[in-house]
Amino acid sequence: MKTVATYSRKGGTGKSTISFILACFASAAGHRVLLVAMDPQGDGPRWASGGDRKLMEGDYFESPLGFTVLFSPRYMPELDTTDWDLVVIDMPPEVETVSQVNPNLWLTPLDGRDAVLDTMPVIPQMIASGAQVLFVMNKVDTAGKRVMETLHEGMESISERHEQVFFWSDELPVAGSIARVPSYFQPPWKVPFGKGTKGANSSLDLCTSVMGMLELRS
């Protein structure tokens, strides 16, 4: 079993969207996938259910998208490692929850300077876990591209000191196909007018990169 924890200390960076997209991708590739939603907002489980499920703590169900969902706000349950090929954990932006998980990969979306500053104090704890850490620049538009490049340059010193820290070589753009995920409860390449767009292709590339880091076929 491989585990990905999607975490940023700042809310609104795209953790739930990326977790949902990755679960869809890995499931479509034939893997047994569990999406654990520790974020009390429960966006991922609602999208996975088709959008109208009333979530209760401990809610456990099969998504029509092909993966299993567990809603466990702020608490990481014990799992049978033989049941799953991939567990994707959608984490809340809270420091206290970081010590509850022991992933193979920390997937950390950053959408600007505040996300970097808020997450920096937690990065040593993430690195100390021994897991790989992958930073992803998210919601990048033309106006913000230089800002994001500057942030990337400023944080590269971390990866120079720690060989398990990586920056994804591309960015997730501000894209209509990604923005439509919460409305259509589908990954970007399946929403209306999404297939073949930059947002859909970037999402597919990110999922492929994550699967490669985890040594799972994509």
Structure token pair of residue 3: 């585990």
CB distance 18 to 138 below 8 Å: yes
Domains assigned to the chain: 2-213 (3.40.50.300)
Amino acid 114: pLDDT: 85
Amino acid 96: pLDDT: 93
Amino acid 159: pLDDT: 67
DSSP 8-state secondary structure symbol assigned to residue 191 = S
CA atoms within 13 A on the CB side of 84: 24
Amino acid 82: pLDDT: 87
Non-local (6+) Cβ contacts of 185 within 8 A are 46, 47, 48, 49, 50, 51
Amino acid 31: pLDDT: 98
Amino acid 130: pLDDT: 92
3-state DSSP helix/strand/coil % of the chain, to nearest 5? 40, 20, 40
Rounded (5°) CA angle 25-31-33 = 75
Name the phi and psi angles at 39, rounded to 5: -75, 120
Amino acid 151: pLDDT: 66
Regions of the chain short of the pLDDT cut 70: 141-157, 159-160
What are the pLDDT digits (tens) for 39-55?
999 999 999 999 888 89
